[in-house]
Amino acid sequence: MFRQGRVRNFERVSRVSRWFRRRFTPAGRLVLAVIIASGVIGVDISRNLSYQIFSLSVSLIGLAVIFAAFNRCKFSCTRTLPPIATVGEPIHYHINISNTASKLQSDLLIVDQLELQSPTEQELHQFRDPQSVQENRFDRIVGFPRWDRLAKIKTGAEVPTQRLSEVSANETVKLQLSLTPLRRGYIRFQGVNVGCPDISGIFRSFYRQTIKEALLVLPKRYPVPYIQLPGQRQHHQGGVSLSSSVGEAAEFHGLRDYRPGDPLRHVHWRSWARTGKPVVKKYEDEYFVRHALILDTYGQSTSKPQFEEAVSVAASLVLNVADQESLLDLMFVDRRAYRFTTGRHTADVQYLLEILACVNPEYHQSFEPLAQLVRHHSGQLSSAICVLLQWDESRKTLVNALRVLGINVVVIIVTETAHTKTEKDELGSMDGQQQFIHWVQVGNIEQGLARLAHVQGGFS
Amino acid sequence: MTLSRLPCPPGLMGATVFYWGWQLKLWPIGLICAILLEAANRVPWRINISEKQFIRLSDLTAVAIVVTGAVLFQNYSSDGLFYLVQWLPAVMFVILAAQYYSENQLIPLTAIAATLRKRARLDPSVANKSIDLRLPYVFMTLIAASVGAPRTQIFYYLSGILILWFLWGVKPRHRNPLVWLLFSGLALSLGFVAHIGLNQLQGTVQELTTHWFRADWSHRNFNRNSTAIGYIGRLKMSEEIIMRIRNNDPATFRASTLLQQAEYNRYSGGSWHADDRSIESLSKQSELNTWYLSDNIPATGRQLNISTYLRKGEGVLALPRESYAINYEKSADLNINKYGSVRIENAPNLLDFAVNYGVKHQQAEETTDKDLEIPAVYTKLMAEVVNELGLDKITPIQATQKLQNYFDENYKYSLIQDQFGLVLSPLSHFLRKSRKGHCEYFATAGALILRAAGIPTRYASGFLMSEYDPERKLFIVRQRHAHAWTLAYIGGHWVELDYTPSTWAALEAESAPWWQDIYDMVSHLTHATYQWWIAKPRNFMDYVLVIGLFLATIYSLKRIPFKEIKLQWHQKTENKKSTVIPGSDSPFYKIIKHLEHNTSPKEPGESIKVWLLRISNSYHIEMVELQQLVDQHYQIRFNARNNGVVERDSFSRNVESWLKMHAQS
């Protein structure tokens, strides 16, 4: 019964609390505390005179609210955001505040408002909060601090309020604000609110300016040792179909006699003049080595942190692999199967990171669509890195199929719990070859990835 | 990092503490405390108090609050909580003084609560936070003063001045002081009107609520009972539980019963008196542990188990009127008067006994002429009422019933007494004008009217046993359940007639304060502990427990770091001298002072150049010359050796000339 509608109540409590914190200055909050204390103690006015303090405090608050309604302050605000940010890395940005009123304003409160995202009951239930160990029993039972932290994570960040001592008439002040993104994806900014205290300094009126902007937050990346991916051609068909330049992308190979049908532009005029018979330039199609980064997004039995770490691992590998002279296909399923290619004039590595910033876990489908996508493109691949969340039969089948095709495979399994060597052996039993399977544990990802230094020899 | 950034205006703390002492008529204590706190801002002495010592002081303060609260609650019931609030400034003075005289004049946040200490171990940011208790203490002191202050209008104005003093400190800098004064005056006036309105509202609410006056119930005098008839104002109530009663009869286990303490037969001057003052000592039948109150023992009787407190082991017992035997295991002296009131002496302070009662044999009871006596001042009035109702023309049973209907239809229950004026006596005012009053009015008026109709009556006082606690399966009798009723002699027996409107118990139950449940819980706990300690024979483990608690208290007290505090005095000024800031004597500070005075002050952490750039736009200050001076100042300030780059004398001259040039602007 207690849990029914608790999320809605948490939202209300949070909204009211936010309203009080912004509207009342610290002095105003102290006066409110006095109202509560004197109200409780002086509820029976025949006992003592606390009700007189109560009356005066209520009058002060009441008048301050009325005076604040007439306290018209006018500002013009602009925000300058960096193009991208990274989870967990603090960023600094600026807000320019111009006082367009004809008089000086002091003791201002600047609130850069984000679009708030409230968690659902299900999300709250699934949220595993490492900070809950710090909570007392009451907080753990009620769950409001946990909800609050989850709401901040869903919103993306928390921008601390800033105080501005004064802005003269027609003056512009540049304020530096900072925030630390708590999740990847877009953080949406709504507007800038400027709070001006009333004459008594206990209640604020607000000037609001809507400035809607979005900041893309990339996944967290870990240092990954340089991985030398094998690059043999493996009889690939075709060349680069997504070349950035128009025309044929081919490598000069030599000269040969003209055969009917050869294009005139391939005629080597100087050789024709020297030999007296038509000679054409012979080209060899350019084949690039193509690697695949396969991201497992099926999260039915996985936790949110586990999925987030898998995305971070994928992002770290993207940076590592994309530096090499090869193409990299990122394959995953988010509602439907996707394949994005980068490298060699196709797209920048930034492009894949932005995609990874927005990828979501898939709760409803089976692993099969991703397996189909990989199988479909397997003919073009030289090697594949699979970032998996589980190690079950369907995943083993896919990896087996790739290996049978002669594709070099590295499997990175992101787990939440540490597995013993025996367990790993049992879970990873595939033809007795486990060298290409790497287990990395949530909370210990960096050390886990550092072990990939041995991967060069790990490709079979 | 400091949680509270609010400034405490100079002098406010001292003024508030002195005000508190003055209102509590303890102005020397208030004055000493005020001087000690205010002196901290003037004297250079500081104490080096570590975080650990603050934690100990905080723990000690918490223990002091709990112990003081427990003692006050035990002695004064719910009133004790108000006394606790009144004395909080004194109890918390030590921790506040520690803050004032500490190096940082702040208290580490971890000292406030054990949960914060736990959190600080996991989150270092919590460990670095500090809190400033000054302003919360100011307001707590103000509320404490309001609890103990005499009811005078000056309290409002002086409290208002103190609150506005605080608000002056937080007034936005750019606001016009005159407008602020207007605002303050308006707030004071509005607050004044509001508190007068609250007074009137309380008066209206009082008419809808009922309360009972607090009386020394166990020491009721069974020879004379002064009533509150004629008392003007509101009778005080008390929630104190004085009896816990278990009714063992399954047929009537939830039935309300009147528990009589005393009965009187003569009314005079607002008091009832028992004319026959003779008392008789009762002897215990040892083998049965029983005192028999009467020889007239019914064939079938009922039993109540009563647990009640006595003051100094003596008091008058509240018993059902038909009681005939008291069963009590331990020794005590019991006396009974002519009217059946039982007084117990030499008993423990917590008395657990059983009383047997039931309808006695049809044996005529006594009555005297005194039971028909009406004070001369009321003879005419009572005769008028009797004639009006025709009570003398009907049978006594019909008369009692008719009078009951008359009171039910025309009178209301109220504990609020109006002004009576000079013409009517309080009882006449009740019968003829106000037609409202508490049970003493109804019982007295009922007794005198029936006497005028020729029916012998008496006045009985005691308690109504009506509040049943289903959880504990017992009746709870509080002080506010005290009651008075009429006894009428009809058919050779004294019959209980309760003319008070039956709504009184329900009305007073509705007006129970919000803390009643908390109070009850503590009261039951105290009762159980008391019962365990008093009623049960002591064994070895009991003494071990008490000695253990005593030793734990001594151990806790020994943890207070008195010696360490004494040893660590050192002079604040010495510290200042030991850290000489290079370039702190730069002449440029005169320009900074001048500009801060005339323009916007420099923010903490804001560099001089950024600040000058900011104010140059707003106040149209020429920057070229200033820029050169700032560069020279930076040389003096940050290039400690100066390397002969800046010549002090010429720099001073330049600064002076700049100041001279801009002095008028």
DSSP string, B248-281: --TTSTT--EEEEEEEE-EEETTEEE-S---EEE
Residue A374 has pLDDT above 50, yes or no: yes
B160 part of contact set with chain A, CB < 8 Å: yes
pLDDT in tens, B123-137: 777 777 888 899 999
Does B80 reach chain A within 8 Å, measured CB to CB?
Answer: no
Distances (CA, A) of B551 to A168, B485, B529: 65, 53, 20
Cβ contacts (< 8 Å) between A63 and chain B: which residues?
183, 186-187, 190
Residues of B in contact with A57 (CB under 8 A): 163, 191
CB contact under 8 A, A199 and B4: no
Residue type, B493: H
| A171 interaction partners in chain B (CB closer than 8 Å) | 614, 617-618
Interface contact B82-A47, CB threshold 8 A: yes
CA-to-CA separations, A200 to A34, A204, A460, in angstroms, rounded: 16, 10, 76
- Residues B167, A56: C-beta atoms closer than 8 Å: no
Q: Distance between CA atoms of A4 and B463, rounded to whole angstroms?
A: 46
Q: Using CA coordinates, name the residue in chain B closest to A164.
A: B603
Nearest-Cα distance to chain A for B421, in Å, is: 23
Dihedral (CA of A365, A370, A371, A377) sign: positive
State the pLDDT at residue B289: 79
Rounded to 5°, the CA angle B220-B446-B343 comes to 20
Greatest mean pLDDT among A110-119, B332-341, B414-423 lies in A110-119
**B155: distance to nearest CA of chain A, Å?**
8
- Interface check for B596 against chain A (CB to CB < 8 A): the answer is no
First-to-last alpha carbon distance for chain B, in angstroms, is 39
- Spatial CA neighbour of A183 closest among A95, A117, A110: A117
Cβ contact (<8 Å) for B139 and A25? no
For range A182-192, the mean pLDDT: 92
Given CA atoms B539, B544, B545, B550 in this order, what sign does their dihedral have?
positive
Average pLDDT over residues A158-174: 88
Distance from CA of B112 to the nearest CA of A (A): 15
- Give the whole-angstrom CA distance, residue B121 versus residue A134: 9
With a cut of 70, say whether residue B73 has pLDDT above it. yes
Min Cα separation B96/chain A (Å): 18
Element (H, E) at B404: helix B396-410
Q: What is the model's pLDDT at position A251?
A: 65
Chains A–B, number of C-beta pairs less than 8 Å apart:
151
Over 60: is that where the pLDDT of A51 sits? Answer: yes
Strand partners, A383: A291, A408
Task: Give residue B417's pLDDT.
Answer: 63
Distance from CA of A444 to the nearest CA of B (A): 20
- Residue of chain A with shortest Cα separation from B156: A52
Closest to B75 in 3D by CA, of B190, B228, B240: B240
Comparison of pLDDT for A251 and A174, the residue scoring more: A174
Q: Which of A152-156, B16-20, B573-577 has the lowest mean pLDDT?
A: B573-577
Q: CB–CB of B136 and A37 under 8 A?
A: no
pLDDT at B50 over 90: no
Q: Distance (Å, rounded) from C-alpha B502 to C-alpha B482?
A: 14
Report the alpha-carbon angle B438-B439-B445, nearest 5.
100
Contact B163 A57 (CB under 8 A): yes
For residues B406 and B385, what is the distance between their CA atoms, to the nearest angstrom?
A: 10
Q: Which of A78-92, A377-391, B257-271 has the highest mean pLDDT?
A: A78-92
What is the average pLDDT score of chain B? 80
Question: Mean per-residue pLDDT for A182-203?
Answer: 92
CB contact under 8 A, B82 and A26: no
Residues 6+ apart with CB under 8 A from A355: A330, A338, A340
SS3 B177: helix
Average pLDDT value for residue range B502-507:
72
Report the C-alpha gap between B146 and B36 in whole angstroms.
23
B72-86, B157-171, B208-222: which range is least confident on average? B208-222
Which whole number is the average pLDDT over A141-168? 89
CA atoms of A48 and A34, how far apart (whole Å): 15
Nearest CA in chain A to B158: A53
Q: In the prediction, which pLDDT does B572 show?
A: 47
Name chain A contacts of B160, Cβ cutoff 8 Å. 56
Q: What is the C-alpha to C-alpha distance for residues A118 and A128, in angstroms, rounded to an integer? A: 16
- The answer to whether residue A6 scores a pLDDT higher than 60 is yes
Res B420: pLDDT: 52
Q: Is B181 on the interface with A (CB under 8 A)?
A: no
B547 pLDDT above the threshold of 90 = no
Chain A contact present for B200, CB below 8 A? no
pTM of the model: 0.57
By CB neighbour count within 10 A (0-12 exposed, 13-18 middle, 19+ buried), where does B663 fall? exposed
Distance CA A433, CA A459 (A): 11
**DSSP letter (8 states) at residue B531:** I
Residue B500 — φ and ψ, nearest 5°?
A: -65, 135
Residue B573 binned pLDDT confidence (cut-offs 50, 70, 90): very low
Residue with more model confidence, B220 or A277: A277
Q: Between B183 and A233, where is the model more confident?
A: B183
CB contact under 8 A, B167 and A38: no
With contacts defined as CB-CB under 8 Å, which chain A residues touch B172?
106-107, 197, 199, 201
Contacts of B198 in chain A (CB under 8 A): 45, 51, 54-55
Q: Which of residues 605-634 of B touch A (CB under 8 A)?
A: 614, 617-619
pLDDT-derived band at B214, boundaries 50, 70, 90? very low
With an 8 Å Cβ cutoff, are A55 and B191 in contact?
yes
Mutate to test the interface with A, among B16, B118, B186, B195 (most CBs of A within 10 A): B195
C-alpha A390/C-alpha A298 separation (Å) is 9
Question: How far apart are the CA of A65 and the nearest CA of chain B, in angstroms?
Answer: 12
Question: Which of residues 89 through 148 in chain B touch A, CB cutoff 8 A?
Answer: 115, 118-119, 122-123, 135-136, 139-140, 142-143, 146-148
Q: Which residues of A touch B113 (CB under 8 A)?
A: none
Helix, coil or strand: residue B622 = coil
Burial of A130 (0-12, 13-18, 19+ CB in 10 A): exposed
Residue to mutate among B174, B186, B188, with most A CBs inside 10 A, is B174
- Check residue A328 and give its pLDDT: 81
Q: Contact A56/B151, CB-based, under 8 Å?
A: no
The Cα A73–Cα A101 span in angstroms is 7
CA distance to partner chain A, nearest, from residue B583 (Å): 28
Region B160-189: mean pLDDT is 90
Phi, psi of B306 (to 5 degrees): -115, 135
CB atoms A41 and B191 under 8 Å: no
Please name the residues between 458 and 517 in chain B that touch chain A, using a CB distance below 8 Å. Answer: 513-514
How many angstroms separate the CA of residue A56 from the nearest CA in chain B? 4
CB contact under 8 A, B167 and A46: no
How remote is the C-alpha of B42 from its chain's centroid? 37
**Does B146 contact A49 at a Cβ distance shorter than 8 Å?**
yes
Question: Measured between CB atoms, which of A50, A58, A165 is closest to B146?
Answer: A50
DSSP SS3 for B129: coil
> Using 50, 70 and 90 to split pLDDT, how confident is the model at B251?
low
For the record, the structure tokens of A20 come out as 């009080």
**3-state SS record for chain A:** CCCCCHHHHHHHHHHHHHHHHHHECHHHHHHHHHHHHHHHHCCCCCCCCHHHHHHHHHHHHHHHHHHHHCCCCCEEEEEECCCEEECCCCEEEEEEEEECCCCCEEEEEEEEEECCCCCCHHHHHHCCCHHHHHCCHHHHHHCHHHHHHHHHHHHCCCCCCEEEEEECCCCEEEEEEEECCCCCEEEEEEEEEEEEECCCCCEEEEEEEEEEEEEEEECCCCCCCCCCCCCCCCCCCCCCCCCCCCCCCEEEEEEEECCCCCCHHHECHHHHHHHCCCEEEEEEECCCCEEEEEECCECCCCCHHHHHHHHHHHHHHHHHHHCCCCEEEEEEEECEEEEEEECCCCCCHHHHHHHHHCCCCECCCCCHHHHHHHHHHHHHCCEEEEEECCCCHHHHHHHHHHHHCCCEEEEEEEECCCCCHHHHHHHCCCCCCCCCEEEEECCCHHHHHHHHHHHHHCCC
User: pLDDT digit string (tens) for B574-591?
Assistant: 444 445 567 777 888 888
- Using CA atoms, how far apart are residues A221 and A318, in angstroms rounded to an integer? 10
Confidence of residue A336 (pLDDT cuts 50, 70, 90): confident
| Pairing mode of beta strands A408-415, A383-388 | parallel
| Subunit contact B198:A45, Cβ cutoff 8 A | yes
Closest CB to A106: pick one of B174, B192, B513. Answer: B174
Q: Do A56 and B163 lie within an 8 Å CB cutoff?
A: yes
Distance from CA of B232 to the nearest CA of A (A): 14
Q: Which residues pair with A45 in a beta bridge?
A: none
